[in-house]
Structure formats: structure tokens, C-alpha cells
Structure 1
Amino acid sequence: MGYSLMKCRDEVLHLTKQLVSIRSIVNTDGESVIAYSLYTMIASFPYYQANPDHLVIEKTMDDEMERYNVLAYVKGTKGNSNRTVIMMGHMDTVGVEDFNQQADYAFQPDEWMEWLKDEEILLKDREHLLPNEWLFGRGALDMKSGLASNLYLLQYFSEHPEKLDGNLVFIAECDEEDGSHGILSALNTLNKWKEEQGFDYVAAINADFVSPLYEGDPNRYIYKGTVGKLLPSFYITGAETHVGAAFEGIDPNFIASELTRQISYNPELCNEAHGEYTLPPVALKQMDLKAAYNVQTALGAFVYYNFFIHSWTPKEALALLKEQAHIAFQNALTAFEQSHNTYCNMSGKRNDGVSWEPRVLLYEEMDEMLVNAYGNKYKEAMAIFKNKLLHDDSLDTRMFALKVVEEAWKWMEDKNPTIILFYSSLYYPRIELTGETSNERRLNNALEEAVQTIQSVYKQPIKVKNFFPYISDMSFMAISDDEAGIKAVKDNNPAWGTKHYVDYDAIRDINVPVINIGPYGLDAHKKLERVEIAYSMEIVPNMTKLVIDKVLSE
């Protein structure tokens, strides 16, 4: 006889629809609304009526928005183990601008599917409009169906603590789609419970969405660990000139364009580990820094790139990117000189050659140079400047960091064209499950057994991969980087300690291996976002429960 699945589909589907109906768009009041709705729902469970202190709703810390996390735990009575599994999932969603006039339908799955039946836009996948097979709506896939699965399991174990040989912690966090204030705040509660309740965190299970990796991909994916994400940023100074004397200076936009040509889509910057490759970097912003029109070339340019990592540390990434920037700078100067030669040959004008050399500095290198040159005078002036910048609400972390770099550049005596490389945003740490620790081995074994068990009763292939390929809160459950890697993040982010701060020690204190067992669907963050009901509402909760049981069993 095969494995007998828990009959949870209808209840998880009902919970998903309830959650989708709440407009919990990131950075809106809806994040608070869904948190209080979840808190009220969980508080109604008999277990929490009897143990109200096992459930909390907490405002995020160091956050400009008012929003909340909901955390709860169940203490198992099957044995005396302190081993504890964390289930996590985010409550917020991206916006609904893509829905245009149909924005209200984004939160009404049944009505939205009825409306779509009359439209031609889904002609290719019209079989997905069967209400017993797919569910549409904002957050249905990313990731309210995953949160509903966790909520179902929380209720199940709260009603059957005698089946839990250890403890279960539930986290519903806010702000995953933007700055991860939710999970970063939740770390403090997890560490507090670790001390007060004696919880021994041995595994974390995230429930974020999974999708096909290629056209016709039949697999349903489980992920161990997660990709890391950096935002390497470049401040580029040129040599200003009037456009009527173009070759007497060099446009920083020209250098920036060569930098993007060198870095974007460059397969040399794909990081391989365990036979899996990250996507190459791609530019997310490229701009010059002219405030208004004139006929001078720009003084500076700014560009930043998405940069995924599997095994490279942030320090190693900086070294690679500095090398690439140097190549780009040299290419730009070579192209400039060739164009200048051609122009002079055509016009008969004199060519005095190029006087510039490629110069690329890390932010920490420039900062150290200026500290050595000016000492406390420079340090105090920059501290005052940063504090003033904090009052400018128009600046996000990235633009704040740029302003600091621009200000520091003013102190540089040598103003020859330069590229300054720095980080300007939150680092999402990579997590690699190497199997080196007993907790990692236990989680890997539990997952392998669970997949084999579920595969026997499920027709689609379930495949385990090593790195969750999307940015997620999984990154903040453990750190695979050494101290030097994290120091590179701190020393090269100009906003560190003022506009931006992460308590990486709090992450190290948790340091729990993490996997992702999440709902399956298509078009996350798009108008036709949809989740497959059979896998997401039935297989996911069953798989998650099996892993919990196996990880906690001695």
C-alpha cells in the first residue's frame, strides 16, 4: 500500500482564498491588516486559547512603515526533545498595477477566473481556468498558498501536540517583497525563544513558490539552501568638457556603457556550485548625474547590477567585479583613442593622445585613502553629511549610498577619471547545504525520504535542487560566509550604520539549515499569476509534515 495523504486540500484552498482576499501589498497598510487577521485567526485555535503566550504579533524594528509579524509555537508532548523546526512564509505581495482596470479582481480569485473565461488573453492556457485545478489572483502563488499550507500544519499540530516529538515555530513575516524588515525583526524573537524556551533550532522550511525552469518542464522543485544576492554599484567620474571640444574630456556615460557591456549577461560572472549556475548579472539602473540640461558632458554616472552568488563570498565578488571594471575602463579608453585618431585623420586636427589610465577603487580603498590624508576632519565631516542625508525621505538606500560616495569623491585630490565600486543595498546571504553538520545531514536525509514517499503517490516528477533561485527571506536563516565576506559588505556599503544596518550576528545565532517546499504555479508577479491546486494544496502540506516528522524523530 502507498502512503496515505492527509486530506487537507479543501481546507488549504479555503485558507488561500481568505488570504488572497486581503490586500496586503508591500509598503501599504494592508500588511498590518493581514497580520492582525492572521493573529486573530490563530488566537481562536483552542491551543492558543489555552496558551496565549505561545502566540505574538510584533511590530517590525527600525522600519519607516508600521507593519507586523505573527509568530507562534507549539510545544510537542510526544517526548522531551528541544529540537525545533521553523516554518516560514511571507504575507505581503507585490502591487496590482498590472491589473489596470481589473485591480479589484486581483483579490477575488473566483470572480477573476470567471472574468478571464470571457477573455482571449489566456487562449494558450485555457485549461488552467478549471476552478478545481488552478487558482488565480495576486499572491495566490507568491505565496499565500504556501502560507496557507503552513497555517494548516500549525493548526494540525496545535490540535495534536502528542504527534510532535519536539517543537514547531510558525513565522508569518511582512516586507519580503522589499526590504525584509519582517524576517530581520523576527530573528530577535527567535533568539529570545531560543534562550527562554530552550529551543534547539535544527531546520527551517520556507514555503515560497516554485515554477517551471523551461518550457514544458514537468518537474515540481524542492530547493535546499538559496542563492545569494548582491547589488554591486559603480560611481563613474569622467573628465568634463564642452561638447564643442568633445575629445578634450571623456564622458562618464561612455565608460558606464562599456562597463555594462562588460558585466551584463557575462557568463564569466555565473557562479557554479554543485553543478548549478547562477544567472549572469544584469543592469538594474544606469544614469548620469546631471541635474539639468547644458552642453557640458556629465561629471558623473551611476550604474548598478543584480549579482547572484552560490559559492562566492561578497569579498570575492568585489575582486571579480573590480577586475571586470578595469577591463571595461581600458576598453573604453582604447575605443576613445581609436575614435579620436580616426577623427583627427579625417579633419586634419592634431592628436595629442590620451592621458588617462584606468583607475578602479573599492569604496573602502577610497575611504582609507581619505582617512589617511585628512584624519578626523574627513571622518567628522562625513558623519555630519550622512546624518543630514537621513532627513531626506526621497532617498532610498541605493541613492543614499551614492550621495555618500559623491561627497567622499569631493575630498579626492586626484580627480582623474575613476570608477568607484561599492554595495548599495541589502545583501541576501547565500545558503549552501554542504552536509557538513549533523543538522544539515538530518535535514537532507529527511527531505530525501519525504520525496521518495510522496513520489510514490504523485504522478509528476519531484526534483531536488541545491539553490532556491529567487531572492527570499530564506537568506536570513543562516550564513555560509566567513567573517571576511561579511566585513566586505559592511566596509563597502557607504550607507552602513546610518541608512542601512543588518545584525548578521543575529543570523549566525540562528544559523539553521533551510529548505523550500512551496506551491507550484506560473506567472508570479504578473497579471495571470496562478497556482496549481493539487500539488500546492495537498502535496506541499503533506511533504512539509513528513519532513517535520522525520527531522524531529530520533
Structure 2
Amino acid sequence: MTLKNTRAGIYETLLDLVKCPSVSPGSGEVKLAQLLYDKLARLPYFRSFPAHLQLVALEGDPLGRSAVLALARAQPTTPRTVILTGHFDVVETKESRALAELAFDPEQYTAKLSSMKLPDDAKKDLESGNYLFGRGVMDMKSGLALQMALLAELSAEPEKMPCNLIFLAVCDEENNSAGMRAAIKRLASLREEEKLDYLACINSEGFIPREPGDRKRYVHLGTIGKIMPMFYCVGREAHVGQYFSGLNANLLASAVTLQFEGNPDLADSWHGLPSPPPTTLKQRDLREAYSVTLPARAVVYFNYLTVTRTPAQVLAQMREIASAAFEKAVAQVRTAGAKHTEKSGLQVSVPWQPKVMTYEELYREVEQAQSGALSGRLATFLKALPEELDEREKSIALVGELLRLHPDKSPVIVIGFLPPYYPHRSNARQSPRERGLADAVEEL
């Protein structure tokens, strides 16, 4: 079907995109990238300028995935360029339960939902007839369908285009953002090759209501940042029958979580508007088999949103919280030990002292102990890890290996960051371009 900037045309494109199950990471992302490419390749502009449409391969990607990039140049020639972007991958459909197989067929899925028990707000939306349900409809294939339709209309008459347009659709957003990271390099090289001046980037991600019942529509200038604080907790293994001889790493991790989870004092803010506070993404001990000993190692990591804070500032908060959490955990064990002594008559010694170090500090100490022969050893270690481990699990394993090599085996909390990291970007109206973009949005 030819891309058309009409209600019916956008709707048909949306259905085509959703019906391709582009779960990340997976082969569906490869198929959908090709589908996007093929749809754009049929446009008159890209039949005339095929070199302006390309698949941007993810270097070294085992699945062979690509981003899709299309450049439509205005006539007469101008460097002024606006980027339209979005992601085409989706998350899996387990939440759809019995209807999981229909989640990629929006019309059938929406029809079937009428017989299901739904939350009141979802039921109201369904009964209105104004909503289409299905995996990827909102996040974010409807936005891509809109952008493709706009590109089709404007590229048909380049002489009427006020600027160049780049359409960029990326994979892997729901996973490690490998698609955007590859695309950034291509955008940088394309800017030099084509002498482009990037004025703005419009992301067609759906917006989330600020509160239940909120029907306002928002345009966000800039983007919130994301960083993932990690606390790798090392206790002391001991048989459960000798509880006070050890220190449970799960206790350390739990103490950190109590300090960090949902803490409003850690929520970054922009002009008085706070971002959501940090929340736990995963917490677990790190042993692989059942054992009647106190877990010696545990890890917890968090989602942390930023609008002004730097990684160094977040790390300083982490060190403070890790120290306080360690102290509270040890204090709890000492209090329990005193009560145990009172009841049993057995003396209990709790010698543990709070110790916190950053990943960098751990690395430097191990490097010194290894006489500088560390980087090659760690490269070999990482290469030997199972391929199915994601970047976070590999990073956690790397910390574990450094701790294994570290000569000091006393309890410690190692703090650092797990991938991915997304820097924030804000429009502070400080430059003419920032003011111009903000003024343009206010005119909408």
C-alpha cells in the first residue's frame, strides 16, 4: 500500500507495522526494518534518490538488526534539517495472557477485549470506540505511521519543503538502545557528508498522563535522563547455625533499598517540578544453588531519572546512602546479637565495620595488586561469559570477578552504574535556537 497522509492511510500503515511482531531483542526487528525500508522505497522521492534511503546496520549485532534512515532534501538546497524519530521494537506480550496471540492484530484484539474484565479507565476508553488496543500501537508505531505519512506528503513536493527531513526509525529501544547508539554515529557522519544543520529532533513517543483522569496533551521540550545506580553488597558467608559469625548480603541490599526506594529527596527537579523518585529494578542474591549458609553476595540496582544532576552527583548520593545503609544493617545485627546473648548466655561478637567503595576504586586497587596485568585478564573473563547474559548481568559479573581478585575479603558495598545511560537534555531558553524552538511549540 502507498503511504498517504490521510486518516485512512495512517491507519492502514499502523496496522501493517503492528502486525509485524518486532519484540526486542529478536528477528522480528529485522523483518520490520525491512518492511519500513520497502514502504519508503516505493515513494517517488526515494525512487529518484535511492541513496537517500538506507539501513543502518548495528555493528557486531548477532541478530543482524538495523535502523532505518531516510533523508528528503528540500529544493532549493538548504542545510536546515529536522529529524523525525521513533523506535519500532516492542516488549513481549505476556501481559495479554489468553489474548497474547492476538496482541499483534489490533482490530481483533480490540474486539476480543470487550468480553474481558478491564480496569474502569480502560473499559471506558474501549467503549468510547476511539481507542485501538494492541502491542506497539501507542508505543510507538502510531507515531512512526504519522511520521512516514508526513514524509510521504512533503517529499512529493521538495520545492515546498521549508527544510530537509530525516526519518529515523530505530530498534532495540526496549532493551539497550543499540539502534539509537548506532544511528547517532550515522547522523554525525551524514551531517558532514550532506552539510546539514540539525535544528530539532521530534520524537513521536506517546505521552503518559501526569495523573489519573488527565486528558491534557503535552509537548515535552527536551528529554529526561536515566542512570542505573548499582549496589553490589558483599557480606560474610556462615552456616545458618552460626548466624552471628557471618553477615547476610541480602540484609545489606535490603537496607540500601529501604534508603533508596521511592526516596523523594533523591528525585531530581526542573523549575520546582520533581521527577519520579528512584525505584528498584532488580534485587537478588548472587548464588546459583541452594545452600544453608548466609548469602555472601547480593546486588540491587535502581532506575534513577535526572533532569539536572550529573553522574558524579548521583554517585555522591549513592556513597552516602550505602554508608548509612551499611551502618543500619550492622546496628540491626548488633542489636539482635545483644538480645541473643541475653536469652542464650552466649557471647556474640559483631566486628563488621561499614565499608563503601566505587567501582573505579575497586578496579584501581585490584590493578595495583595485579601489577597492572588486569585489563587483558578481564577481557578474557568477559569473553567467556554466556552470550545470553545481557549488559547488566555481564557488568555485575565483572564486579564479582574484581572482588574475587581483590585481596581484602571483608564485607563491602561496591557502588557504580549499570548500562544503559541516557543523559538528560533540557530547553533552558538560553540560546536563540532554544528560544526559537520553545516559541514554535507554544504556537501549536
What TM-score results when the alignment is normalised by the length of structure 2?
A: 0.94
Q: Which residue of 1 aligns with 2:70?
A: 72
The farther-off stretch of 145-154 and 340-349 is 340-349
- Consecutive unaligned residues of structure 1, counting only runs of 5 or more, are 1-5, 451-554
Which residue of the other structure, out of 40, 49, 61, is the alignment partner of 1:42? 40
> Is 1:285 matched up with 2:279?
no
**RMSD (Å), alpha carbons:** 2.0
Q: What SS is found at the alignment partner of 2:425?
A: coil
Which residue of the other structure, out of 399, 412, 417, is the alignment partner of 1:405? 399
- C-alpha spacing 1:7/1:384, structure 2 compared with 1 (3 Å): closer
Q: Which residue of 2 aligns with 1:28?
A: 26
Q: Which residue of 1 aligns with 2:167?
A: 170
Q: C-alpha displacement at 1:394, in angstroms?
A: 3.0
Q: What SS is found at the alignment partner of 2:95?
A: helix
Q: What SS is found at the alignment partner of 2:282?
A: strand
Q: C-alpha displacement at 1:100, in angstroms?
A: 2.8
Distance 1:52 1:225 in 2: 32
Which residue of the other structure, out of 280, 298, 317, is the alignment partner of 1:320? 317
> Is 1:134 matched up with 2:128?
no
Distance 2:216 2:232 in 1: 42
> Is 1:372 matched up with 2:383?
no
Q: C-alpha displacement at 1:313, in angstroms?
A: 0.7
Which residue of the other structure, out of 56, 61, 64, is the alignment partner of 1:63? 61
Q: 2:5, 2:149 within 8 Å by CA — same for their partners in 1? A: no
Q: Which residue of 1 aligns with 2:334?
A: 337
- C-alpha spacing 1:395/1:129, structure 2 compared with 1 (3 Å): closer
Per-residue displacement from partner, 1:303-335 (whole Å, max 9, x unpaired)? 111111111111111111111000000111111
Which residue of the other structure, out of 416, 439, 449, is the alignment partner of 2:433? 439
Per-residue displacement from partner, 1:395-441 (whole Å, max 9, x unpaired)? 22112112211111123222211001122221111111222233222
- C-alpha spacing 1:193/1:365, structure 2 compared with 1 (3 Å): same
Distance 1:117 1:197 in 2: 51
Q: Which residue of 1 aligns with 2:419?
A: 425
- Consecutive unaligned residues of structure 2, counting only runs of 5 or more, are none
Q: C-alpha displacement at 1:168, in angstroms?
A: 0.8
Q: C-alpha displacement at 1:124, in angstroms?
A: 5.4
The farther-off stretch of 82-91 and 159-168 is 159-168
What TM-score results when the alignment is normalised by the length of structure 1?
A: 0.76
- Pairing of 1:240-255 with structure 2 (within 5 A): 240-255=237-252
Distance 2:384 2:119 in 1: 51
Which residue of the other structure, out of 387, 398, 406, is the alignment partner of 1:393? 387
- Pairing of 1:107-506 with structure 2 (within 5 A): 107-121=104-118, 125-129=122-126, 133-352=130-349, 354-389=350-385, 392-450=386-444
Q: Letter of the aligned partner of 1:190 in structure 2? A: L
Percent identity over the alignment?
A: 35
Equivalent residues, number = 441
Q: C-alpha displacement at 1:23, in angstroms?
A: 1.7
Q: Which residue of 2 aligns with 1:487?
A: none
- C-alpha spacing 1:131/1:273, structure 2 compared with 1 (3 Å): closer
Q: What SS is found at the alignment partner of 1:222?
A: coil
- Pairing of 1:515-554 with structure 2 (within 5 A): none
- C-alpha spacing 1:412/1:58, structure 2 compared with 1 (3 Å): closer
- C-alpha spacing 1:128/1:379, structure 2 compared with 1 (3 Å): closer
Q: What SS is found at the alignment partner of 1:220?
A: coil
Distance 1:383 1:215 in 2: 49
Q: Letter of the aligned partner of 1:445 in structure 2? A: D
Q: Letter of the aligned partner of 1:370 in structure 2? A: V
Distance 1:121 1:305 in 2: 30
Q: Which residue of 2 aligns with 1:18?
A: 16
Q: C-alpha displacement at 1:289, in angstroms?
A: 2.0
